[in-house]
Amino acid sequence: MQLPELNFEDTFDFQIKRDKDKFFIYDLVRKSWLLLTPEEWVRQHWVHYFHLKKGRNLSSLILEKKLELNGTTKRIDLLVTEKTIPKILVECKAPHIKITEKTFEQIARYNSIIGAEEIILSNGLLHVFAKFSENHYVFSPFAY
């Protein structure tokens, strides 16, 4: 399987295995093998980034948490917490998905429920960083 190189400063040592014609990646947080989809490839880069580069405990990383939004169940990709307080909400897209205003609105809607101070929207190639301040988002260059 040819995986795209993503736009991260560091490279990470992922555990990947093959079972017949499918590939799986080991998730450090959930301690299980997950189907290696393009979106999962991006999510696992963020998990490794926050754990190995930023020193976050695995217990502070919440993956695919269910969330109720306008009567429908959604799932967030990654939430970084500090003492259970939501700090950074990360929405991961596959590398071939363009980052647009519409994709940003998705994470902003999710964050209206979660209440994280910062959000990151990423397709692994482009990372959009915004901080919620005075009732609106302020965009800035990626600063991690």
Q: What percent of the chain has pLDDT over 70?
A: 97
Residue 122 included in any domain: yes
Residue 134 clears pLDDT 90, i.e. is over it: no
Residue 7 included in any domain: no
Domain around 107: 38-140
pLDDT in tens, 74-91: 999 999 999 999 999 999
Residue 107 included in any domain: yes
Residue 94 included in any domain: yes
**Which string of DSSP letters, residue by residue, matches 107-122?**
HHHHHHHH--SEEEEE
Tell me, what CATH number does 53's domain have? Answer: 3.90.1570.30
Overall pTM surpassing 0.85 (yes/no): yes
Residue 21 included in any domain: no
Residue 14 included in any domain: no
C-alpha to C-alpha distances, 66 to 70, 73, 123, nearest whole angstrom: 13, 7, 21
Residue 96 included in any domain: yes
Please count the structural domains in the chain: 1
pLDDT in tens, 95-115: 999 999 899 999 999 999 999
d(CA 112, CA 63): 18
pLDDT in tens, 21-49: 999 999 999 999 999 999 999 999 999 99
pLDDT score for 51: 97
Residue 6 included in any domain: no
